[in-house]
A and B are shown apart, each in its own frame.
Chain A
Amino acid sequence: DAKTTQPPSMDCAEGRAANLPCNHSTISGNEYVYWYRQIHSQGPQYIIHGLKNNETNEMASLIITEDRKSSTLILPHATLRDTAVYYCIVPSIGSSNTGKLIFGQGTTLQVKP
């Protein structure tokens, strides 16, 4: 996997935008950036992924820099339920071409009232 670097923790005020950064300077040209989150005692939840262009869905927006060496996940209006560990992952391609997710420590986002 391309190595990713995330800050260990961040705080965000409820109702404000949460911007979570990720560095992936060794990413290859055909590798996607994925974001997942894990709320306490639950399985990880897929949020969004992208290759080159910025992406948006009902959960979040993903901004990828032009050189693709970093990205930012944006939660536009954070709520208390968004408190979770957020993982930025660039999966490798296995011998069977089945993607393998290697999880790091992620960023613990604490949304405060």
Chain B
Amino acid sequence: ETGVTQTPRHLVMGMTNKKSLKCEQHLGHNAMYWYKQSAKKPLELMFVYSLEERVENNSVPSRFSPECPNSSHLFLHLHTLQPEDSALYLCASSQDRGGSYNSPLHFGNGTRLTVT
């Protein structure tokens, strides 16, 4: 149990489907993140939410749409994806205290997405 739970663990979807990834954190943190990890590549930061406001969007295509309804939940809505979007999608949370100190990120175990 990592304190950050992601569902589903595995997802196969066609290019015309619409699906959503869910992340829930039980750590009382105020910041949440989406990362993408493609095969043989480093983790890529996609979105950052702090206090439920999006503060970072790393040039992610619009077919990925994040939603953060409260500080404990984060969604990633997917539509008209491409096969190259197949990857491990990781959610993380942290306590954003501002200043130069960055509290450690706690990651979930990810959703393995395959786009056919």
Contact = CB atoms under 8 A, between A and B. Distances in A.
Secondary structure call for the A interface: loop
Nearest to B6: A43
Interface residues of B, number: 28
B96 interface: yes
- Interface residues on chain A, size class: 20 to 34
Interface in A27-63: 30-32, 34, 36, 41-46, 49
Contacts of B109: 41-43
Interface stretch (A17-25, A72-80, A92-100): A92-100
A41 B87 CA distance: 11
Interface string B68-107: 0000000000000000000000101010101111111111
Q: Which 8 A-B residue pairs are closest in the complex by CB-CB distance?
A: A99-B102, A43-B107, A103-B43, A30-B100, A46-B104, A96-B55, A97-B98, A103-B42
